[in-house]
Chains A and B, each alone.
Chain A
Amino acid sequence: MGRYIVRRLLWMLVVLLALSAITFFLMHAVPGGPFDREKALPPEIIANLEQRYHLDEPLLQQYARYLYDVFIPHLSRTPPGRSLMDDHLININLRVGGLWLKWMNFGPSYHSLSRTVNDIFRQQLPISAQLGTMALCVALIIGVPMGIMAALKQNTIFDYVGMSVAIFGVSVPVIILGPILVWIFGVELRWLPVTGWGASPPYILGFLPRPSVEFFRYAAMPSVALGLGSSAIIARLTRASLLQVIREDYIRTARAKGLAERVVIVRHALKNSLIPVVTILGPMFAALVTGTFVTETIFGIPGMGRYFVTSITNRDYPVIMGTILLYAVFLVVANLVVDIVYAYLDPRIRYT
């Protein structure tokens, strides 16, 4: 198992390298550049900007520079400075000859002129991760029981109501549900804050909010709005999968040997039926925690979602690269975790 995980992580590096190359050359190939303005800038100004961001170098050299900055740890005598060009995610003072080990400089943003991509990771990512995790919890808490209920009481009122709610959840997007929730609970009843986020640094372990009533007051509406759509997907999958499993022979065997119905369902049926659900949880987790543009905009949450969208329209190259690599890391790791969970759910699955 250990060797398997190491091998998967090494593969992740290969995936990230390939992805960075594709993204890098694709975004440079798209027409339009970061300094295109409605009021076209004079060539001298563009030359200064391109020099500052090394965009005047040949493309291959720029890519090599990017790989070096992001992937290769390097030693430096200058302490972490106040320059946006020299901002590394990891800075270790070696305490030997004034040397610093620096790693992962994702570069400055071309649009947010006072920030680096690392600043965005440090300040916006924890908030998106908090929202995404909360939303995923909402999705699981609503989705799994609803799916089980619908399967066990198939073709009864529970099934119909449950699946109607699921259809509603899938078909009403956040952009509709969000403002409705805001209007009811924020504007009319004034029970919950309309916009904003109730956690601020320092975070526990770098991303967990200090638990407080405020945090949950702020998180309630966006988590529900964001989680409801996912809960519907989970409910439908759980139902379909459980319906299939309870018709299997080994369930009949379990019942025949006189096990209580509750034990049959929880220990034998449910565990097996969760495999497809766990499969989609990986990508769902990666998508939710790296930022959700619409939800964050409607609820005024200072998360990452906006940067996924605006970096592309602004041709903000370092932010495009940074957000895409970040998403890839989350996706690969989440899928790895899913694969490990498979082994727990189904003893027949073994990795070597």
Chain B
Amino acid sequence: MRTKLFAVASLLVVAALALTACQPAGTPIVQTVIVGGTPMVVTATPAPPPAGPKVLHLNMGPGDIPTIDPALSTDTSSVQIVEETTVGLTRQNEETTALEPGMATSWDISEDGLVYTFHLRNDVPWVRYNAVTGEVEQVMDCSEEPQPRIVNAYDFEYGILRTLNPATASEYAYVLAFAIAGAADYNAGVITDTTQVGVRAVDTYTLEITFNEPAAYNANIAGMWVAHAQPRWLIEGDDCTEGQGDRWTETGFFQGYGPYTLKEWVHDYYITLVRNPFWPGSDNIPQAAIDEINWVMLDEVPAFAEFEAGNLDVAGVPSAELDRVRADPELSQLLVIAPVLCTYYYGFNTQAPIVNDVRVRRALSMAIDRQALIDNVLKGGQEPAQWFSRPGLAGAPTMADHPDLGVHFDPEAARASLQEYLDETGQTADQLNITLMFNTSSGHQRIAEAIQQMWAENLGINVQLTNQEWAVYLDTIKDPVATPQIWRLGWCQDYPDANNFIREVFAVGGSANPNGAGGGGVGWENPVFEELVVQAAREQDPAARVELYAQAEQILVYEDAVMIPLYWYTRNTLTRPYVTRTFSVLGGLEHIEKWDIAPH
């Protein structure tokens, strides 16, 4: 009997140890257990857990990552992987958007501002993950005594030219095609001689890029993912490497050189990156502290459930759950609302009846209570937008330095502006026949209904709502004839500069103004605006640039009231308290090499 009791007690001690394995190491655990009706106090001091790898569990969002090939990436999830596995010549600071050195430690700019000479670091090897040894190893070259392949200027030259090669069919090649001399002709198949493209490896660690314009953002473009170094031997094959063609980014083949490299990519399910110990680290791109990052590919709602079950370290909050999270004493401590460089807006077809009058457009814009929209409909802590270029972009005005710029809720002024138009045309507000179109989605529907109601209450205008399926809608709102009077879109940065917003969207030929006065999109031309955005792109003094963009914004959203800025995006993130992290403003693109996990 005695031995049996002892056996039971020992088992309980083991069980207690097992149960408390998650407690901080070294903390004595005292538990009272009942053995055969007799209470016993069991004290156990668990041994410190073995220092296992630090693994971060994140969610990438639903669906497979389209690609992790730098030349082909277009969306945030693809670029997220590319930015961790390879590094550009320059790199954007994800919190300040400031331009920082990447693979280039410094660069010289010619007198005319067109030729950039990048000086590359010479200590970064290409690496791959070896599944057999479970280690990251350096990639060796084909010489008789194999040496590590060091990332050099030729790899960058190859990368840029591969992106521009028409056969690669890269979507984002256009960014390089517009910026780099000769690149557009090469990409369009007009020339096939790559020596006429303004990219040249001067020597092993010096790369020269010739640009079309002396623009302030040239060095940013040189750092974009489509201009990253790419491994020619792996893609095309060489003496000691089998060429993997389109499949080079798959598990087992992939080679990179960034702070992390690919360990495993199970399509549609998860992707795992592993720390690259050969990344030498720099002031702004340190060696990674976390050993592995595992992204699952889940919709927001199941991801939130996984977070609540303790299986994710970071998760977005579904808008339906936000009120509960805010009220929850524990979860609310983990919640951070961070800015995202995107703007949600309505555009006017300035050639369509009624909204071809600026007074009507301005009235409609001023009659929207953006804060009420955020508080009652969106509920995600978004910021009311007074102009188009999201604050946080280089060159964009901020609410701190331009609190009164642009347009804001002013029902009195809105009514006055509309009344002037009504008196002149001899109509009443309820006779105005206006249609608002958006792409089919319950979210856009709710926003449109709220705004429809605000216009009815504040102006007495009854706007018709209509919607179309996304791909059909995109055609409709660019068609000179079919573009509705008011339409919806959002815009997110490709590179964090106001040029990417105000000029690339609304200047003539921009994505929301394809033909200027020829119609489609906003169908608008204003020579003063055109002049301002070109001048601002070339201006080198940051403060003067902001002023130029502020003037352009005032024309866009108030004087000509071509579009209605509605809100600036934010995102709601829950992060476990043991994760130290940065919050990126680059549309969710994180630099996880700066994160760490504390023992927990």
Chain A residues at the B interface, C-beta cutoff of 8 Å: 30-33, 35-42, 44-45, 47-49, 51-53, 81-84, 111-115, 119, 123-124, 179, 182-183, 186-187, 190, 194-197, 200, 297-300, 302-303, 306, 310, 313-315
Contact = CB atoms under 8 A, between A and B. Distances in A.
Interface in B268-319: 268-269, 296-299, 301-302, 305-306, 308-311
15 contacts: A32-B471, A35-B171, A37-B474, A42-B177, A45-B170, A45-B174, A47-B189, A48-B168, A48-B170, A112-B66, A115-B267, A123-B267, A179-B301, A300-B302, A302-B269
Given A48-B189, A195-B305, 4 more contacts: A36-B474, A38-B474, A41-B171, A51-B166
B306 A44 contact: no
B148 interface: no
Given A38-B489, A48-B187, A111 B66 contact: yes
A41 B170 CA distance: 11
Interface in B311-354: 311
B135 interface: no
Contacts of A41: 171, 174
Contacts of A306: 62-63, 268
B505 to A, nearest CB: 8
Contacts of A123: 267-268
A188 B184 CA distance: 57
Nearest to B310: A190
Contacts of A297: 62, 299, 302
A314 B470 CA distance: 9
Interface string B483-522: 0000001110010000000001000000100100000000
A44 B268 contact: no
Most buried by A among B249, B305, B473: B305
A114 B474 contact: no
Contacts of B66: 111-114
A187 B511 CA distance: 45
A82 B302 contact: no
Contacts, number: 155
A44 B187 contact: yes
Contact of B177 (A32, A44, A179): A44
B237 to A, nearest CB: 9
B475 A31 contact: yes
Interface string B172-185: 01100100000010
A187 B420 CA distance: 59
A194 B246 contact: no
Nearest to A40: B511
A51 B169 CA distance: 8
Nearest to B298: A300
B403 to A, nearest CB: 30
Given A186-B309, A197-B269, A113 B69 contact: yes
A114 B308 contact: no
Contact of B174 (A42, A52, A112, A194): A42
Nearest to A45: B174
Interface string B362-375: 00000000000000
Contacts of B494: 39
Contact of B173 (A30, A45, A51, A179): A45
Nearest to A200: B266
Contacts of B168: 48
A138 B468 CA distance: 39
Contacts of B311: 194
Given A297-B302, A313-B471, A44 B184 contact: yes
B539 to A, nearest CB: 24
Nearest to A114: B67
A300 B296 contact: yes
Interface in B452-500: 469-476, 478, 489-491, 494
Given A32-B474, A190-B309, A119 B267 contact: yes
Q: What are the nearest 8 A-B pairs in CB distance?
A: A32-B471, A82-B245, A302-B268, A113-B67, A302-B269, A52-B169, A44-B188, A84-B246
